[in-house]
Each structure stands twice: as C-alpha cells, then as structure tokens.
A = this chain, B = another copy of it.
C-alpha cells in the first residue's frame, strides 16, 4: 500500500495506472502533472488524479511511488526536473517502449541515484491515446517488462514487481539491451514495415483506386500504420540500431523468397511459405497479452 502516487504525464498510460491503483486500494492519494494544464484538469475532473501539481517536481514531492509516463524522448527532461527529489525509499518507474535510451538518460541525469529507478514497459495500450481513454483495466492480463540494472535497489525491484502484479500483470525481467532487441523484432519493425507499405500503396498513381478494392487481410496488416506518429518517431529513432538490424534480416528473407518466385520454382516456394504458415498457425499470444488494441 502506497501513501501517494505521483503521475508525470496524465495520458492513457499514466491515467490508467492511477485508476488501476485506486481501484485496487493500493494508494491513498494520486497527484498528477502534465505539460498541458488542460490535461491535468481533465484528469482531476475525471477522478484519475486527486490533485494537480504545478510541476513535475511538485508531483514527486511527498510521493512514495512515481510513474513517469511521457513520450520516450521527453524522459531525460523529466529526470532533470525531478532529480533533486529522487530520494531513497521512493519507487520511480517509467512506461517507455524502449529501455536502453531511458536507462542511459537515467544514468546521465540521476548519477548514483539511478539505483532508485526501475525501468518498466507494460505491453499495453490502445489505438486512441489521451486521459479520456484511461481505463482501470488497461493493464489487466498483460505482460510488463522490468529492466533493472545490476545495482538497482532490490527492495524497489520487488516493490515494482508487487505493484504491477497487484494490478493484474505478468512481470518479466530482462536487460535493457535484450528488451530493445526483442521489441525491435516483434513490435518496432512491424510498425516500420506497415508505415512503409501503406505509404507505398497510397502514394502511387492508382493508389486510391487500389485502396478501394482492399479487403480484411489488408485492413489487419495495416492497422498499426495508424499508430501515433510522435510516439513512433521516438521509438524508431531511439532503437534504430536494433530495428535496422531486424530490417536487414527481413530484407534477406524477402530477397530469398523473391528469388524463388522469379525462378518459378513452385515447389521451393510452397516449402518456404509453408514454414511461415505452419509456424504462424501454431503461434499463440502469451497469457500476458490477450486483449486487442495494445501494441
């Protein structure tokens, strides 16, 4: 049980975390700060937060748990704003989709206090962002990845594990590098491919005619191409090294399949397709991520 949760960034992710802790009776009071005062005011009126803070630092003051839920590229600025109150015994976490850049920023700004920060990535979300879509059940039944450093305070790591578990998450731990490599493969690259594919189809001379003929396969394949441009700009830039590595793997596989298509070797082509088709048919989402709409 926490006395006060400080939320920095009262959007979908931060707001949903506040609602989940409240619903679970895990916190007495929530104080929130957002860059836009109208967001903070909306969050207060919705009962997502109890009080609005005038600054990120004031949202930290008096809190024993703090969630930083800002776009990844704004994390370092947030650390700078709050570093003087990163005190022992307070659990600091984020919700960023990339972890190495967040950990690097934490090291640079927090110095030795970096041990009080537990980096977190809940595999949850919705197509539509904003506090108006905040949902106490957003994290229910999802996975959350924690990427603590070797010297991160183990008491805080345990507290982090407990609070995410208490709101229904399956908690996994890995290194920031492993996290970023894995999500480059299964999340960041698909977004990049979907953006590129949709753009390539739409921007050709007969693009609009073609789009009018597209069916449900196209609809599902391109759903993630509608994702938030500012969020994905940050992810694609900050994790570019791993994403470009994955893209190269993909290009090699595409080259290999196209080579077989060009050669007209139907049998070899069917074998290649069957490997994918069988593996995909046998794949199931893990227990942690069953509801539609998350990333």
Inter-chain contact A286/B250, CB cutoff 8 Å: no
In the complex formed, the residue of B with least CB distance to A283 is: B211
Q: List CB contacts (< 8 Å) of A218-233 with chain B.
A: 218-230, 232-233
Interface residues in A237-289 by Cβ distance below 8 A to B read 237, 240, 243-244, 246-247, 249-254, 257-258, 261-262, 264, 266, 269-270, 272-277, 279-281, 283, 285-286, 289
Which of A266, A272, A277, A293 is the most central at the interface, judged by chain B CB atoms within 10 Å of its CB?
A: A277
Task: Specify which chain B residues have a CB less than 8 angstroms from the CB of A272 in the assembled complex.
Answer: 195, 199
A273 contacts across to B, CB distance below 8 A? 195, 229, 232-233, 236
Knowing that A181-B206, A200-B246, A217-B223 touch, tell me 17 more A-B residue pairs with CB under 8 angstroms: A182-B210, A185-B210, A186-B210, A186-B215, A187-B218, A195-B272, A197-B250, A198-B279, A202-B279, A214-B289, A216-B292, A220-B221, A221-B224, A223-B280, A229-B274, A233-B270, A244-B258
Q: Which residues of A are interface residues toward B (Cβ below 8 A)?
A: 73, 123, 143, 145, 172, 181-183, 185-187, 189-204, 206-207, 209-230, 232-234, 236-237, 240, 243-244, 246-247, 249-254, 257-258, 261-262, 264, 266, 269-270, 272-277, 279-281, 283, 285-286, 289, 291-295
